[in-house]
Structure 1
Amino acid sequence: MILTVTPNPSLDRTYEVPALDRGEVVRATAERMDPGGKGVNVSRAVAAAGAPTLAVLPLGGAPGALVAELLDAQGISVAPVPVAGQTRSNIAVAEPDGTLTKINAPGPELTSEEAESLLSVVGERSAGAAWVACCGSLPRGLAPSWYAELVARAHAAGARIALDTSGPALLAALRERPDVVKPNAEELAEAVGRPLATVGDAVKAAEELRDLGAHAVLASLGADGQLLVDGSGAWFATAPVDTVRSNVGAGDSSLAGFLIAGGTGPRALASAVAHGAAAVQLPGSAMPTPQDLALEAVTLMSHVPLDRALTEPAP
């Protein structure tokens, strides 16, 4: 079972439009509503693959109740932590060329008691989990060290930890030695304090995160592919994408694919890339099912192309 933790979940509304014209009335051609947040998306992708998952998240107000209802309708078990503030609502506008405009609300401010309740529930429910995926930004009221405490408690319960966050929260959590961290190129550059222009730059940055405590680094390099660096070496993988419809939740789907396949080694990397490539070809934050995957199309390389320039260098 894969347990996910989403400290700042959301109710996500996605609209597909012919074009986004500022100041004009824009008529959507399609719309959808999904439970949102990075950990929630991981649970949705795990459930779409037919594997068991439990989503732990703080929920408040009518939007929070709707998030729980939508997750239940998708067959996802929820361990809600009641909070006084209202769960945030986010809006995404998708254009035909793949351009996505997102408006993310800040979300509620958690009290110290609510923050501790969330930690306690994770500690209690981690005992039966193969993996605990801790994902997303921290809401107001939670210090950057909160993820470090969560990693420590989940490890104490015997679970392996996958951490997908950034900035001070990521750096603070590394001291507790998460089993895998999943930055994108921009987050990886931010963590090491310098730009990344090549795949080799990303490998060096990932090795630095391992020196700081991460057992493994699964780095998403956007359209260029994904990189896995652990104690046994480095692997690089790519997959073709015909049409990008939406990248919302694609990284989360990728992390789910990695964990479903065991969470270690090149086989898990190939699964991560296949899930990410499938997700970007689906509308909104829809998650791929096994029928959407094309594992045979993944190119896996043990000889990492260090000199390959990144299509989108990370500043």
Structure 2
Amino acid sequence: MIVTLTPNPAIDRTLAVPALVRGEVLRAAAPVVEASGKGVNVAKALLVNGHAAKAVLPADDQLLELLRAAGVPCDVARIGGAVRTNVSLLEPDGTVTKVNEPGPALSSEDRRRLLSMTLAAGGSVIAASGSLPPGLPADFYAELVERSDGPVAVDTSGLALKAVIGARPWLIKPNLDELAELVGQRPQTLADVVSAARALRSKGPQAVLVSLGGDGAVLVDGTGARHGEAVVDRPRNTVGAGDALLAGFLAGGLTEALAYAAAAVRHVGTHAPAVTPADRAAVRVHQNIDGGRRVE
């Protein structure tokens, strides 16, 4: 079983609008409302594809109700305040404008409970994902890695990502912007991405999985470097694709990661649907990396 930790979960509202025009009254289609947060998304993607998963998170009554309705097994640290609500405005061409609230402040007791519950959940792998809410220190994920007896994958950003590098996690999953922030310059080509990922790996993580949006993903681990991509003709919503990528990687490696991501971007909501044969057929893992290929 894979255990996910989401210290800053959310209720996601996705609204489809004809066009996003500042200062205007917009008429939206019926909203899609989902329990969310990066680790929750990872757990949901695993569950819908037949893998055992459990989510650990702080939650209020409304979020807990959504989790139960979605059939997500969870260990919950109940909090007094309300979890955040994130709003995604989705245009017909797949452009998403996302507004995220900061989340409620957590106490030192909340921190202790979340760490203890995650370590006691019995996962073969822990996937710790997302931003840290007010009240949790930047070394929260690093402490989790140091206290865990098993592998920990971390998908976060900013100071929390910088702090976890030296704790030697099993895997980190930066996107291109996060990779650029870590190494001090923005990679322009796949060769630059590989070089930056190798530099990070030398500082502690056993593997670095870099999500590149439409350019796919690069994996650098002890066996070398690989690049893969999935061609989707009509992406509908890219929110949650990175979470699906991580879920697929935990389920079956780079090829499965890209298939999960392909399924996610075809879907309107932020949770990943079941992977189809068409999603897997869209995946290409290249035997040789085209180092000169530019990335955006």
Deviations 1:51-91 (A, max 9, x none): 111100011xxxx2222222222221110012232211111
How far, CA to CA, are the matches of 2:142 and 2:21 in structure 1? 43
How far, CA to CA, are the matches of 1:293 and 1:211 in structure 2? 37
Say whether residues 1:114 and 2:99 are aligned partners. Answer: no
Say whether residues 1:270 and 2:255 are aligned partners. Answer: yes
How far, CA to CA, are the matches of 1:293 and 1:172 in structure 2? 39
Determine if contact 1:15/1:93 at 8 Å carries over to the other structure. yes
Determine if contact 1:164/1:183 at 8 Å carries over to the other structure. yes
Say whether residues 1:221 and 2:207 are aligned partners. Answer: no
2:284 maps to amino acid = T
Who is 2:68 aligned against?
72
How far, CA to CA, are the matches of 1:145 and 1:39 in structure 2? 18
Secondary structure at the residue paired with 2:202? helix
> Of the candidates 120, 123, 126, which is equivalent to residue 129 of structure 1?
123
**RMSD value over aligned CA atoms?**
1.2
> Of the candidates 180, 189, 192, which is equivalent to residue 183 of structure 2?
192
Do the aligned partners of residues 45 and 292 (structure 1) sit closer, same or farther apart at CA in structure 2, a change above 3 Å counting?
A: farther
How far, CA to CA, are the matches of 2:9 and 2:207 in structure 1? 26
1:153 maps to amino acid = R
Determine if contact 1:18/1:29 at 8 Å carries over to the other structure. no
Distance apart, 1:11 and its partner CA: 0.5
Who is 1:183 aligned against?
174
1:123 maps to amino acid = L
1:46 maps to amino acid = L
Structure 1 spans left out of the alignment, 5+ residues: 262-267
Compare 39-48 and 67-76 and name the one that shifted more.
67-76
Determine if contact 2:263/2:275 at 8 Å carries over to the other structure. no
Who is 1:207 aligned against?
198
How far, CA to CA, are the matches of 1:217 and 1:296 in structure 2? 25
Determine if contact 2:237/2:265 at 8 Å carries over to the other structure. yes
Who is 2:15 aligned against?
15
1:99 maps to amino acid = T
Provide the TM-score with structure 1 as the length reference. Answer: 0.91
Secondary structure at the residue paired with 1:277? helix
- Structure 1 segments, 4+ long, off by >6 Å, are none
How far, CA to CA, are the matches of 1:5 and 1:242 in structure 2? 33
Distance apart, 1:39 and its partner CA: 0.3
Structure 2 spans left out of the alignment, 5+ residues: none
For these two proteins, the number of residue pairs brought into alignment is 296
What pairs with 1:50-199 in structure 2 (closer than 5 Å)? 50-59=50-59, 64-125=60-121, 128-154=122-148, 156=149, 159-199=150-190
2:265 maps to amino acid = V
> Of the candidates 267, 276, 281, which is equivalent to residue 282 of structure 1?
267
Identity over aligned residues, as a percent?
Answer: 47
How far, CA to CA, are the matches of 2:241 and 2:279 in structure 1? 15
Provide the TM-score with structure 2 as the length reference. Answer: 0.97
Distance apart, 1:293 and its partner CA: 5.2
Deviations 1:280-312 (A, max 9, x none): 1110213120336522321111311111111x2
Who is 1:265 aligned against?
none
